[in-house]
Structure 1
Amino acid sequence: MDLKSTLLVTGGSACSFKLLNTIVRFLPTPEPAHKKAWKWRNIITSLVHSSLTGAWAVLCLYHQPHMLEDLISSHSLFSHRLVAVSTGYFINDFLDLALNQSIRQSWEVLLHHSTVISCFSLAVKSRLYLGLAVVSLLMEINSVFLHIRQLLLLSGQKNRPGTEITAPHPSVTYSVTSWLNLGTFLVFRVCTTGWMIHWLATHSELVPRYVLMMGTVGLSLISTMNMVLCYRLLRADILTSTDNTGKNH
């Protein structure tokens, strides 16, 4: 794709996700989520992006396994469009967060999005490092379950009916989602990030200094956010459940 086509795909993606967010506004919203209607719409939009790009990244690597051997120069129209579409989503989500949440609430996500937009824009414009961008989008597979978990919390479906006050017990749906979230977190976030860090360290001589700096900063940020997120998930879904079980006995 030339630059004009790339901009059209990226801009079209941003507009499409904005349109999706608007359509969700007119769909039924669970009563517990009414007070956080904006967040409900934002997470559903994010869930669609994660489902789309996570599956797309797997297809890219399945049909083009050589990308894993050459993350710098190997690319295709299929992978190029994937990264362009994802860039459009992150631009839309950045604006959505900036306009609807305070900086205090959203600064971590805004910093993450800024880093991703910078790295993906470089890959899309130069047609280099697309393999690295595609590998990073494997993390969206975990984001699918992360977003479903958030939707269950917003809709008040975390606990089994009738157990909320006396002795809260997670519902089957929430428990399954929670374990899938933690399992895919380990595989698609921790392992993927570790593999990317190892690749960047062993191929640093092939990467320009400014790209190496962008990659190092980006992966350091993602690694830090992953550790914080993992702690929060374990505290909320594992440690709390263990404490409640102990108290009930």
Structure 2
Amino acid sequence: MDLKSTLLVVGGSACSFKLLNTVLRFLPTPEQALKKSWRWRNISTSLAHSSLSGAWALLCFYLQPQLLEDLISHHSLLSHSLVAASTGYFIHDFLDVALNQSYKQSWEVLLHHSMVLSCFSLALTSRLYVGYSVVSLLVEINSVFLHLRQLLLLSGRKNRTDTTTPRPSVTYSVISWLNLASLFVFRVCTLGWMTHWLVAHSELLPRFALMMGTTGLSLISIMNVVLLYRLIRADFISNTHNTSRGL
């Protein structure tokens, strides 16, 4: 895929996710989420991207296992298109968040997206590290459950309605456990493997690429540790405390 085709895919992807976000304005929104309608649309759009890119990344490695053997120079139309399409989404989401949230609320997301866009842009323009970028998109498999959890919270479907003591619903409990399990597999393990690969191949990488990868992985790893802490505290520690207090 040449540069012009790449830019067309990036632009088309950004416009498609913007269109999806706009269409969501006219679809029914849960009553409890009406006051946070922008948040509902933003997370729903993110869920669509996570579902698409997570499945697409798995398909890349299933159809082209040789991609794992050479994460630096090997790439294909399928893998290159995935990175381009995800780049379009992150551009859309960066602008959507920047225009609709205060910097105090959105700085973590903007920082994350800036790092991802920097790394993906390098892969797309140089046609190097495409496989490494596809590995990073395996994280989106966990994001599917993370976004489903957020949508349940926004729609007021966290707790059961048949008890006076606040207790998580079956649906929310299942999503919480799947979210935690997939976080360990597709975030912790994936980022750990990416870090190990970066260290093992540091001599083969230009200094700027090594610095970019190290900085990005360090920041995103810190964010994931904070995310893990918040999830455990919100979904497991507080729920245990509420149940004990009710008993």
TM-score for the superposition, normalised by structure 2? 0.99
Q: Work out which of the residue numbers 180, 183, 192 in structure 2 matches 1:182.
A: 180
Alpha-carbon distance in 1 for matches of 2:11, 2:69:
31
Q: By how many angstroms is 1:162 displaced?
A: 4.1
Q: By how many angstroms is 1:69 displaced?
A: 1.5
| Gapped regions of structure 1 (runs ≥ 5) | none
Please name the residue that 1:203 is paired with: 201
Please name the residue that 1:27 is paired with: 27
Q: By how many angstroms is 1:138 displaced?
A: 0.2
The one-character-per-residue Cα deviations of 1:107-151 (angstroms, maximum 9, x if unpaired) are: 000000000001001101111000100000000000000000000
Alpha-carbon distance in 2 for matches of 1:248, 1:98:
41
Q: Residue type matched to 2:221 in 1?
A: S
Please name the residue that 2:150 is paired with: 150
Alpha-carbon distance in 2 for matches of 1:147, 1:219:
22
The one-character-per-residue Cα deviations of 1:20-46 (angstroms, maximum 9, x if unpaired) are: 000000000000000000000000000
Q: Work out which of the residue numbers 201, 205, 215 in structure 1 matches 2:213.
A: 215
Q: Is the 8 A contact 2:14 2:89 kept in 1?
A: yes
The one-character-per-residue Cα deviations of 1:94-118 (angstroms, maximum 9, x if unpaired) are: 0000000000000000000000001
Q: By how many angstroms is 1:245 displaced?
A: 2.0
Q: Aligned ranges for residues 71-110 of structure 1 at < 5 Å? A: 71-110=71-110
Q: Residue type matched to 1:175 in 2?
A: S
Task: Give SS of 1:174's match.
Answer: helix
Q: How many residues are aligned here?
A: 247
Alpha-carbon distance in 2 for matches of 1:177, 1:40:
18
Alpha-carbon distance in 2 for matches of 1:170, 1:248:
13
Identity %: 74
User: RMSD of the TM alignment (CA)?
Assistant: 0.7
Task: Give SS of 1:220's match.
Answer: helix
Q: By how many angstroms is 1:215 displaced?
A: 0.2
Alpha-carbon distance in 2 for matches of 1:67, 1:198:
17
Q: Is the 8 A contact 2:71 2:130 kept in 1?
A: yes
Q: Residue type matched to 1:192 in 2?
A: T
Q: Residue type matched to 2:204 in 1?
A: L
Q: Is the 8 A contact 2:166 2:243 kept in 1?
A: no
Q: Which moved more, 1:237-246 or 1:112-121?
A: 237-246
TM-score for the superposition, normalised by structure 1? 0.98
Q: Residue type matched to 2:24 in 1?
A: V
The one-character-per-residue Cα deviations of 1:38-92 (angstroms, maximum 9, x if unpaired) are: 0000000000000000000000011111111211001000000000000000000
| Gapped regions of structure 2 (runs ≥ 5) | none
Task: Give SS of 2:167's match.
Answer: coil
Alpha-carbon distance in 2 for matches of 1:219, 1:185:
16
